[in-house]
A and B are shown apart, each in its own frame.
Chain A
Amino acid sequence: MDRDVKISARNVNFYYGKTQALKDISIDIFQKKVTALIGPSGCGKSTFIRLLNRMNDLIPGARVEGRILMDGADINHPKTDVVSLRRKVGMVFQNPNPFPKSIFDNLAYGLRIGGVRDRGFIERKVVDSLKKAALYEDVKDRLHDSALMLSGGQQQRLCIARCLVVEPEVILFDEPAASLDPISTRKIEELVLELKEEYTIVIVTHNMQQAARVSDYTAFMYLGRLIEYGDTERIFTVPREKMTEEYLSGRFG
């Protein structure tokens, strides 16, 4: 069976202060598959993936109800170590956000904060990760130049590489191509398809075609609710919910 559940959310509610942003979300995310979250702006898709690595902890007044299990363990349990959770669940953000450091130091960062000192090991991991992110050929001669010199698409691949260095199990993509041109977007999509061989991927996207191209499963969200979830092909061909159909046919959103 190649449908092992990696993450399972059960009856999740999420509040920003008094505003409820997520309503009773239950979803299973499968191992080494790509799951796309689609829906109009403000539907809660970004909020949801930021629960999976507890980035919402940073927001004052935020509150979660329900349970989110990863490999069977509750990630919101008081004893869960957020640091190790975040090392297991990497994240790539909407706008490329490399640090104002060299390409090498950007990648080495995740290892160094984890206490790795072995230079040889760091170098190997940096090169490996750059290769996996299809960036090595572009930057191999200028690893010590500032990462901010790269183009937007290269910066985003750098951010993906940075995330791979710490060997995550899950990678969350929050609209990774929203600020990129079509060619860079295609490269990111190709990368996502390669990465799913090794990683469980959750991708939030605005772009329905993108969801259709890269994902195995698609979840459609609307106003904080999960409306429909299933095989991407099925969702896009025979949606069960009227609202999904209307969204996919461009009638709203």
Chain B
Amino acid sequence: MRHFKETLYRWVFTILAFASLLFLVGIILTLFRESYPLLAGHNLHDIVFGRFWYPTYDPPEFGMFPLIIASFVVTFGAMAVSVPIGVGTALFLNELASESQRAVLKPVIEILAGIPSIVYGFFGMIIVAPFIQNLLDIPTGLNAFTASLVLGIMATPTVASLAEDAVSFVPRSYREASLALGANRWQTLIRVVVPAAGSGISTAIILGIGRAVGETMTVLMVAGGAAAIPASLFDPVRPMTATIAAEMGEAVMGSAHYHALFAVGLILFLITLVINIFAEIISRRFRLKLGLGR
């Protein structure tokens, strides 16, 4: 009887643990199956590098380049905001902040991370976009720049808290060794702590990129929604995620448009997969470097 129970538990937990794998396989299969009709009918190069996304025209055009470029522009813009702030925050928290400053800042960062993305989108739409529009005197504040800014603020807590972990993993003994050799705090930080935490910080940045690439609500609300290749940062854009969210409702199930949106999802999935693999490789190297084992 006891033996039976143990076997039962074992199986139940094994199945639960492997459920994620099942979900992953299911999602990949669905993405491939649903985007296949489009991919089969068109040249891959035309899809990825096609300049015109007119899914409802007759005949429709499914050039995804404007969407892909929009995602890249907005993501890198967001990184330009979140990397300096996030990494700077992490270093400040670890090296300079007093106990009381830390006690305030760390929960603030966590709260920032917990704000739903639609609230960020709302904030971007109502506050940031009109501000940018008036400030620069441009036709619309809903553009790549504003989306980068809002998305950057949103990704900052991710970058900050992961980078903070990386920096706090640097053993105290490295700092002591450096200070004992007559280095000041700044030299210790730049020459010992940051290099030792380097790949951990890179992982933080890559995961921040992952967060920004996949974010939907905010970009849907503040990026402006124009599916055209932007001529400048201040043009409205339509990143991949926003495209899917905006168009899925109106695409007829089984239509070419429907399959094209799945193809957008597939490309998005492949991009985030590559990002995650990179993050994993780098963080493994980081653990080895600090002798923390595999």
Contacts and interface: CB of A to CB of B under 8 A. Distances in A.
Interface of A: 53, 55, 58, 60, 83-84, 86-87, 90-91, 93, 95, 97-101, 109-110, 112-114, 146, 148, 159, 162-163, 166
B193 to A, nearest CB: 10
A142 B174 CA distance: 22
A109 B178 CA distance: 8
Interface stretch (B33-41, B47-55, B179-187, B227-235): B179-187
B139 interface: no
B177 interface: yes
A90 B181 CA distance: 6
A55 B181 contact: no
Given A53-B180, A93-B177, A100-B291, 8 more contacts: A60-B99, A83-B183, A86-B180, A100-B174, A109-B178, A159-B177, A163-B181, A166-B181
B289 interface: yes
A34 to B, nearest CB: 19
Contacts of A90: 180-181
Interface in B177-217: 177-184, 187, 191-192, 195-196
B179 A58 contact: yes
Interface of B: 99, 171, 173-174, 176-184, 187, 191-192, 195-196, 289-291
A114 B182 contact: yes
A170 to B, nearest CB: 12
Which 7 pairs of residues, A with B, have the shortest CB-CB distance?
A: A97-B173, A87-B182, A91-B180, A86-B182, A110-B181, A113-B183, A97-B177
Contacts of B171: 97
A101 B195 contact: yes
A161 to B, nearest CB: 12
Nearest to A88: B182
Given A97-B173, A99-B174, A99-B192, A87 B181 contact: yes
Contacts of A99: 174, 177-178, 192, 196
29 contacts: A53-B180, A55-B180, A58-B179, A60-B99, A83-B182, A86-B179, A86-B180, A90-B181, A93-B177, A93-B180, A95-B173, A97-B171, A97-B174, A97-B177, A98-B177, A99-B174, A99-B196, A100-B195, A101-B195, A109-B183, A109-B192, A110-B181, A110-B182, A113-B178, A113-B181, A113-B187, A113-B191, A163-B180, A166-B182
A70 to B, nearest CB: 15
Nearest to A101: B195
Given A99-B196, A113-B191, A148-B291, A55 B176 contact: yes
Contacts of B191: 109, 112-113
A110 B176 CA distance: 13
B181 A86 contact: yes
Contacts of A112: 191
A35 B196 CA distance: 35
A95 B173 CA distance: 8
A93 B184 CA distance: 19
Contacts of B178: 99, 109, 113
A91 B173 CA distance: 12
Given A93-B176, A93-B177, A113-B187, A100 B182 contact: no
B177 A55 contact: no
B176 A83 contact: no
Contacts of B174: 97, 99-100
A162 B176 contact: no
A49 B176 CA distance: 14
A75 to B, nearest CB: 14
Given A83-B184, A113-B182, A100 B177 contact: no
B185 to A, nearest CB: 10
Nearest to B291: A148
Given A97-B174, A100-B289, A113-B191, A55 B182 contact: no
B285 to A, nearest CB: 11
Given A97-B171, A97-B176, A109-B191, A162 B196 contact: no
Contacts of B192: 99, 109
A90 B182 CA distance: 9
A45 to B, nearest CB: 17
B181 A109 contact: yes
Contacts of A58: 176, 179
A96 B180 CA distance: 14
A58 to B, nearest CB: 7
A163 B179 CA distance: 11
Nearest to A81: B182
Contacts of A95: 173
A147 B191 CA distance: 16
